[in-house]
Amino acid sequence: MAVDIINPYAVAVAQFDAAAERLGLSQAMRAILRKPKRELIVNFPVRMDNGDVEMFTGYRVQHNINRGPAKGGIRFSPEVSLDEVRALAMWMTWKCAVVGIPFGGAKGGVICDPHKMSRSELERLTRRYATEISILIGPNSDIPAPDMNTNPQIMGWIMDTISMHQGYSIPAAVTGKPIAIGGSEGRLEATARGVQVITRDAMLDLNMQPDKCSVVIQGFGNVGSISARLLYELGCNVVGLSDIHGGVYNAQGIDVHRALRHSKEHGSLKGLADAEAVTNAELLELPCDVLVPAALENQLTGKNASRVKARLIIEAANGPTTPEADQIFNDRGITVVPDILANAGGVTVSYFEWVQDLQRFFWAEHEINDRLETIMTRSYRAVRQKSIEQETNLRMGAYLLAVARVAEATEIRGVYP
Ligand code: NAD
């Protein structure tokens, strides 16, 4: 059977091209911004616990660094590809620009299945990958952070590896670290907290009351599970949740705290009491007011977009909606808050973490959360205003703002030499 493979980089470039066209960017500027600036491919050996040596492939891509050092997460997954990393790097450039933080865009990834590796194998893989990409990363050049299947411990190993090479500690080389080694209060929850703020603000504009809204969330990792908790705390009725093993649904509502405990104890949501099992495909089409994709790319496509019931889609994941699905949502009057805005809370608090590490001066959690909320609300307002002025949707509004900022920086800096 033929499988439709949607290339995320082609999606990212198509989104950029549409914004560039509308902004009337010169052909030269379009050519510069369409391509990643640097792409590093590394093939490296890792000794496994049984004594065998296995080869792994990893990537680090920097899309654009005209507004500041490159910034972007590291993903460990069997599905990682160079084009996926390119797309994620480009989205990081626009994301940092849309929320106005002084970074460019980057992303990294290793093709591996971390669920099949022991902790010590994962540590050796991480340290060797960090060494291989150390020619690019550092506090002034390129600062990684967690993404799918990577976490604060993995960031800690990267920080330690870079520090060992230098002979002194360099906490600002990576963000999303444990607090004990220079991580920031509030970073673990930051992406989801941003999702909560954006959902609340978008609901207000759509005259939707949180306590009268049902929510479905795909993905129950860092972003999905904490978004579930924070939207539940906002008063929403969370009716559907899922992870890679499948979904659970209860039209009356799921007790999110119980789901969190269940997932922690059993390693998945499977078998959650008082909820019916659904597939991930069914989950996206469940009756609900708000749909939050928080897992991976290309989940909402031309195939299922016409059956989505939600009125509001909050893109907590990167690239969950294809351009074809976007058009369908647009035509159906469904509001989509784009990834480059909706999930920007993570990189915003990563920016706070980097600033705190450089200054060796740490802020209290309430300061982090207050500043995050200010930036998210301000950015949402600016994007909405732009989309109203330009009579377009929120994704195009966000792209128009972000691409113009990056193009301006690129223009001012000029073409070297
Ligand atoms: P994670 O590894 O913590 O969680 C991923 C979740 O998705 C897990 O519950 C996993 O079971 C589920 N999942 C994986 N494959 C799936 C599939 N095929 N169908 C359904 N569920 C599946 O990752 P995360 O950090 O929560 O990242 C999730 C998304 O959010 C990614 O798109 C990532 O790029 C984006 N994001 C993350 C951050 C961050 O700070 N961690 C910031 C911005 C954006």
Question: Does residue 346 have its Cβ closer than 6 Å to ligand 1?
Answer: yes
C-alpha–C-alpha distance, residues 236 and 292, integer Å: 12
pLDDT of res. 2: 41
Question: Does residue 79 have its Cβ closer than 6 Å to ligand 1?
Answer: no
Q: How far is the CA of 150 from the centre of ligand 1 (A)?
A: 10
Residue where the block lists tokens 């994962």: 122
pLDDT of res. 5: 79
Q: How far is the CA of 409 from the centre of ligand 1 (A)?
A: 31
Nearest atom, ligand 1, residue 223 CA: 26
C-alpha–C-alpha distance, residues 284 and 271, integer Å: 19
Query: How many other β-carbons are positioned within 10 Å of the β-carbon of residue 250?
Result: 17
Do 243 and 317 touch, CB atoms closer than 8 A? Answer: no
Q: How far is the CA of 306 from the centre of ligand 1 (A)?
A: 24
- Angle between helical axes of 187-205 and 345-359 (0-180°, round to 10): 140
Residue where the block lists tokens 């030499």: 417
**0.95 cut: is pTM over it?**
yes
C-alpha–C-alpha distance, residues 48 and 145, integer Å: 25
What does the block give as tokens for 109?
A: 């990834």
List of residues 6+ apart from 71 with CB closer than 8 A: 92, 96, 103, 104, 105, 106, 142, 143, 145, 347, 350, 351
Q: How far is the CA of 363 from the centre of ligand 1 (A)?
A: 27
Collapsing DSSP to helix, strand or coil, 337 comes out as: strand
For ligand 1, atom 5, name the residue with the nearest CA: 221
Query: How many other β-carbons are positioned within 10 Å of the β-carbon of residue 163?
Result: 16
For residue 166, count CB atoms less than 10 angstroms from its CB and return exposed for 0-12, middle for 13-18, buried for 19 or more.
exposed
Strand bridging mode 53-64 / 142-146:
unpaired
Render each residue's pLDDT in the chain as its tens digit; 417 residues: 344 679 999 999 999 999 999 999 999 999 999 999 999 999 999 999 999 999 999 999 999 999 999 999 999 999 999 999 999 999 999 999 999 999 999 999 999 999 999 999 999 999 999 999 999 999 999 999 999 999 999 999 999 999 999 999 999 999 999 999 999 999 999 999 999 999 999 999 999 999 999 999 999 999 999 999 999 999 999 999 999 999 999 999 999 999 999 999 999 999 999 999 999 999 999 999 999 999 999 999 999 999 999 999 999 999 999 999 999 999 999 999 999 999 999 999 999 999 999 999 999 999 999 999 999 999 999 999 999 999 999 999 999 999 999 999 999 999 999
pLDDT of res. 282: 98
For ligand 1, atom 31, name the residue with the nearest CA: 317
Strand bridging mode 53-64 / 104-111:
antiparallel
C-alpha–C-alpha distance, residues 25 and 180, integer Å: 46
pLDDT of res. 283: 98
Concerning whether 107 is annotated as a catalytic residue, the answer is yes
pLDDT of res. 4: 64
- Check 107, 212, 309, 386 and give the catalytic one: 107
